Protein backbone atom coordinates (compact mmCIF):
# COMPACT_ATOMS: atom_id res chain seq x y z
CA UNK A 1 0.00 0.00 0.00
CA UNK A 2 2.87 2.34 0.76
CA UNK A 3 4.46 1.67 -2.63
CA UNK A 4 1.15 2.33 -4.36
CA UNK A 5 0.76 5.61 -2.50
CA UNK A 6 4.24 6.77 -3.49
CA UNK A 7 3.69 5.74 -7.12
CA UNK A 8 0.33 7.52 -7.14
CA UNK A 9 1.90 10.70 -5.82
CA UNK A 10 4.68 10.56 -8.40
CA UNK A 11 2.16 10.06 -11.19
CA UNK A 12 0.04 12.94 -9.92
CA UNK A 13 3.15 15.15 -9.83
CA UNK A 14 3.70 14.49 -13.51
CA UNK A 15 0.15 15.03 -14.71
CA UNK A 16 -1.18 18.54 -15.12
CA UNK A 17 -4.96 18.13 -15.15
CA UNK A 18 -5.45 16.94 -11.53
CA UNK A 19 -3.15 19.67 -10.29
CA UNK A 20 -4.97 22.40 -12.22
CA UNK A 21 -8.29 21.45 -10.64
CA UNK A 22 -6.91 21.48 -7.11
CA UNK A 23 -5.65 25.06 -6.92
CA UNK A 24 -2.81 25.81 -9.33
CA UNK A 25 -2.18 29.47 -10.08
CA UNK A 26 -0.34 31.09 -12.96
CA UNK A 27 1.98 33.23 -10.86
CA UNK A 28 2.46 33.64 -7.13
CA UNK A 29 4.87 36.25 -5.78
CA UNK A 30 4.80 34.61 -2.33
CA UNK A 31 5.00 31.16 -0.79
CA UNK A 32 1.72 29.52 0.22
CA UNK A 33 1.12 29.79 3.96
CA UNK A 34 -1.53 27.08 4.33
CA UNK A 35 -2.80 24.04 2.47
CA UNK A 36 -5.83 25.95 1.19
CA UNK A 37 -3.74 28.63 -0.60
CA UNK A 38 -3.10 28.51 -4.32
CA UNK A 39 0.21 27.12 -5.53
CA UNK A 40 2.38 27.06 -8.64
CA UNK A 41 2.71 23.52 -9.99
CA UNK A 42 5.71 22.39 -12.03
CA UNK A 43 3.69 20.81 -14.89
CA UNK A 44 1.60 23.96 -15.25
CA UNK A 45 4.70 26.15 -15.09
CA UNK A 46 6.28 24.07 -17.85
CA UNK A 47 3.15 24.35 -19.99
CA UNK A 48 3.03 28.13 -19.60
CA UNK A 49 6.74 28.58 -20.26
CA UNK A 50 6.73 26.44 -23.40
CA UNK A 51 3.48 27.59 -25.02
CA UNK A 52 2.06 30.82 -23.60
CA UNK A 53 5.08 33.04 -23.00
CA UNK A 54 5.64 36.03 -25.33
CA UNK A 55 9.43 35.43 -25.59
CA UNK A 56 9.67 31.68 -25.99
CA UNK A 57 13.30 31.73 -27.11
CA UNK A 58 14.34 33.58 -23.95
CA UNK A 59 12.51 31.28 -21.55
CA UNK A 60 13.40 28.02 -23.29
CA UNK A 61 16.28 27.31 -20.82
CA UNK A 62 13.85 27.85 -17.93
CA UNK A 63 11.40 25.42 -19.53
CA UNK A 64 14.17 22.84 -19.97
CA UNK A 65 15.21 23.31 -16.35
CA UNK A 66 11.62 22.89 -15.18
CA UNK A 67 11.27 19.71 -17.24
CA UNK A 68 14.50 18.35 -15.78
CA UNK A 69 13.40 19.08 -12.21
CA UNK A 70 10.02 17.43 -12.87
CA UNK A 71 11.63 14.31 -14.39
CA UNK A 72 14.13 14.03 -11.53
CA UNK A 73 11.33 14.46 -8.97
CA UNK A 74 9.20 11.72 -10.53
CA UNK A 75 12.27 9.45 -10.91
CA UNK A 76 13.22 9.94 -7.24
CA UNK A 77 9.70 9.19 -6.03
CA UNK A 78 9.59 6.02 -8.14
CA UNK A 79 13.03 5.01 -6.84
CA UNK A 80 11.84 5.50 -3.25
CA UNK A 81 8.85 3.29 -4.01
CA UNK A 82 11.07 0.56 -5.45
CA UNK A 83 13.47 0.65 -2.48
CA UNK A 84 10.56 0.65 -0.01
CA UNK A 85 8.97 -2.32 -1.75
CA UNK A 86 12.28 -4.21 -1.75
CA UNK A 87 12.84 -3.57 1.97
CA UNK A 88 9.30 -4.54 2.91
CA UNK A 89 9.52 -7.75 0.92
CA UNK A 90 12.85 -8.56 2.56
CA UNK A 91 11.36 -8.03 6.04
CA UNK A 92 8.29 -10.14 5.20
CA UNK A 93 10.40 -13.04 3.90
CA UNK A 94 12.43 -13.27 7.12
Assess contact for 43 and 16: CB atoms under 8 A. yes
d(C-alpha 16, C-alpha 58), whole Å: 23
pLDDT at 30: 67
pLDDT at 77: 85
Contacts of 13 (CB under 8 A, 6+ apart): 19, 42, 43, 70, 73, 74, 77
pLDDT at 29: 66
pLDDT at 9: 72
Please tell me the pTM assigned to this model.
Answer: 0.63
Which residues of the chain register pLDDT less than 50?
A: none
pLDDT at 62: 86
Amino acid sequence: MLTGTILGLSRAAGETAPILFTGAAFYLPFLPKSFSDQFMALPYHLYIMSTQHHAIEKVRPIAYGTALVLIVLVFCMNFIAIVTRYKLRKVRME
